[in-house]
Amino acid sequence: MQSLQQIAACVAGYDPNALPVTKASEFIARLVPRVQAVESLAIRSALGRVLAHDLVSGIDVPSHDNSAMDGYALRSADLLGAADTLIGVAGTAFAGTPFGDTVAIGQGVRIMTGAVMPDGLDTVVPQEFTRTEADGRIRIPQGSVKPGDNRRLRGEDLARGEAALKAGRILTPADLGLLASLGHAEVAVYRRLRVAFFSTGDELRSVGEPLAAGCVYDSNRYTIWGMLTRLGVELLDLGVVRDEPAALRTAFTQAAACADAVITSGGVSVGEADHTKQIMAQLGEVLFWKIAMRPGRPMAIGRIGSGSQNGESSSVIGEAGHQAILFGLPGNPVAVMVTFYAFVRDALLAMSGATPQPLAPLRAVSQATLRKKPGRTEYQRGIVSQGEDGRWQVRITGSQGSGILRSMSQANGMVVLHHDQGDVAAGDLVDVIAFDGLV
Ligand code: AMP
Ligand code: MG
């Protein structure tokens, strides 16, 4: 396992006191281990889980050439180029009940959608194009069908031996259908990631408790719970932890012992007089960063354990020397969410075994001038809507203070103003990460 110093040495331009967002992401991607354990689940239980092995198709899907329409299957060689074609009907092919006989020249078969193409027939003329003659033969108007029309080919969805899905994929509803179409009742996925979290700060009260003067309700545990729940990880909520060394030590030790990752909020900024940073540093290898971003400048990152290991450390829960990845987020409610989306989300997905999928930002027209200093990444909360011209536009939600959670709640996306970017004029295009669909 590489030390944090070794990882830092691999990140060009690493500066813990003014760390660009991209460098922080690169560091974290190098730091986090992937879960190894795999479990087999019924496909319906695997929605949103991470596929552990490439899935190679053992069969052709579909397994036979079949009809894409209700109509008549025929031999394209029987079609007359310059006149209507008349064919006899040798029988009927239903989906699930093939027409088993041979079909003579000049004859076709009435066929239903999904029915296997009878031997020798290669084209389907849709029912609505045809007319039945008095003698029972079917008239196919000239030019109404070309050779091969309306026939689905064997293996056109998936050929036998082809990789249908790659390991690391987060299974979607379409994937569950694909698994079923290959005949799988079960699928191998990585075990769920286990994440422990708690809030630190003497001023915090939990909902349900009376609010003493100078205190605030702990909201971070709820936003973090919500974001983690959407990621589909297993949760361990350790509550609000007082700013006392013994209480902090117990919370960190317990969290590190039974989780892959530990997320805390509060107590990591420079001026903090509290004990959180001290205990983090005692229990593991932890860096305290100042990230070139707004909101969310301070953040602690590293590995923590029970504080008593000697010898090799391990990322496997339950093994001797187990260490969990620590994300010490800032305390401000908006900063918590922004740092989670900027770093923790991707890190937890990678730890879950998922192949990183960069978020595709939306490009939207800024409706107003935005002040922005080059040299840091800013995440402003915005409301994206469609303008009268049909283009996406975005306006910023009220005050952007990092403690103002309402700005986040009103927003439907984050405007990302990149590191080198300066002021934005009204009418300029900006990148927006839409919250809808963000897990
Ligand atoms: P800190 O990072 O500990 O200095 O906290 C920064 C600000 O965020 C302070 O105003 C805290 O009261 C506030 N804060 C910290 N933790 C929470 C929390 N869990 N819920 C709501 N506000 C918090
Ligand atoms: Mg604090």
Quote the mean pLDDT of the chain.
95
Residues 6+ apart with CB under 8 A from 6: none
pLDDT of residue 309: 58
Closest ligand to the CA of 275: 2
Task: Give the C-alpha separation, 329 to 274, whole Å.
Answer: 15
Whether the CB-CB separation of 286 and 300 falls below 8 Å is answered with: yes
pLDDT at position 367:
97
Which ligand has the nearest atom to the CA of 328? 1
Are residues 288 and 268 in contact, defined by beta-carbon separation less than 8 angstroms? yes
Which ligand lies nearest to the CA atom of residue 270 in the structure?
A: 1
**Chain center to CA of 209:** 36
CA of 98 to the centre of ligand 1 (A): 69
| Model pLDDT for residues 116-136, shown as the tens digit of each residue | 999 999 999 999 999 999 999
What are the tens digits of pLDDT across the range 259-311? 999 999 999 987 666 699 999 999 999 999 999 999 999 999 999 997 665 67
Per-residue pLDDT tens digits for 80-102? 999 999 999 999 999 999 999 99
Alpha-carbon gap, residue 299 to 329, rounded angstroms: 5
CA distance 238 to 24: 27
Q: Report whether residue 332 contacts ligand 1, using a CB cutoff of 6 Å.
A: yes
Question: Domains plus CATH for the chain?
Answer: 39-61+157-190 (3.90.105.10), 66-152 (2.170.190.11), 192-351 (3.40.980.10), 362-434 (2.40.340.10)
As beta bridge partners, residue 393 has: 365, 385
CA trace torsion 368, 374, 378, 383 (10° rounding) = 20
Q: What is the pLDDT of residue 312?
A: 82
How would you class 135 by CB atoms within 10 Å of its CB: exposed for 0-12, middle for 13-18, buried for 19 or more? exposed
Residue 226 has pLDDT above 60, yes or no: yes
Residues β-bridged to residue 300? 288, 328
User: How confident is the model at residue 272, as a pLDDT?
Assistant: 60
Neighbours of 261 (CB within 10 A): 23
**Residue nearest atom 18 of ligand 1, based on CA coordinates:** 218
**3-state SS class at 108:** strand
Interaxial angle between packed helices 276-283 and 245-258, expressed in degrees from 0 to 180 and rounded to the nearest 10: 40
Distance 330 CA to ligand 2 centre (A): 8
pLDDT at 310: 67
Query: Virtual CA dihedral for 244, 246, 249, 250, nearest 10 degrees?
Result: -120
Q: What pLDDT band is residue 403 in, cutting at 50, 70 and 90?
A: confident
Instruction: Give CA–CA dist 420/439, Å, rounded.
Output: 27
309-321 per-position pLDDT tens digit: 567 889 999 898 9
Q: Is pLDDT of 222 > 90?
A: yes
CA distances from 208 to 84, 217, 218, 241, 396 (A): 81, 9, 11, 16, 33
- Annotate 218-252 with three-state secondary structure: CCHHHHHHHHHHHHCCEEEEEEEECCCHHHHHHHH
* Ligand 1 pocket: which of 264, 269, 288, 332 to mutate (most atoms within 8 A of CB): 332
Contact 418, 385 (CB under 8 A): no
Judge residue 163's burial from the number of C-beta atoms within 10 Å of its C-beta, 0-12 exposed, 13-18 middle, 19 or more buried: exposed
Whose CA is closest to 87, among 51, 120, 113? 120
Has residue 439 got a pLDDT over 70? no
- pTM of the entire structure? 0.89
Average pLDDT score over residue span 58-81: 96
Give residues with Cβ within 8 angstroms of 77, minimum separation 6.
none
pLDDT at 220 over 90: yes
What's the N-to-C CA distance of the chain in angstroms? Answer: 29
Give the pLDDT confidence score for residue 311 in this predicted structure: 73
Q: Which 8-state DSSP code applies to residue 343? A: I
Q: How many CA atoms lie less than 13 Å away from 18 in the CB half-sphere?
A: 5
Q: Does residue 108 have its Cβ closer than 6 Å to ligand 1? A: no
Rounded-to-integer distance, Cα 376 and Cα 265, Å = 22
Q: For residue 221, which atom of ligand 1 is closest to its CA? A: 19
The CA distance from 231 to 48, in Å, is 8
- Cα of 59 from ligand 1 centre, angstroms: 56
Q: Is 203 in the pocket of ligand 1 (CB under 6 A)?
A: yes
The number of the ligand nearest the C-alpha atom of 207 reads 1
Indicate if ligand 1 lies below 6 Å from the C-beta of 328. Answer: no
Specify which residues 374 forms β-bridges with.
none
pLDDT 10s digits, 136-150:
999 999 999 999 999
Contact, 21 vs 291, CB < 8 A?
yes
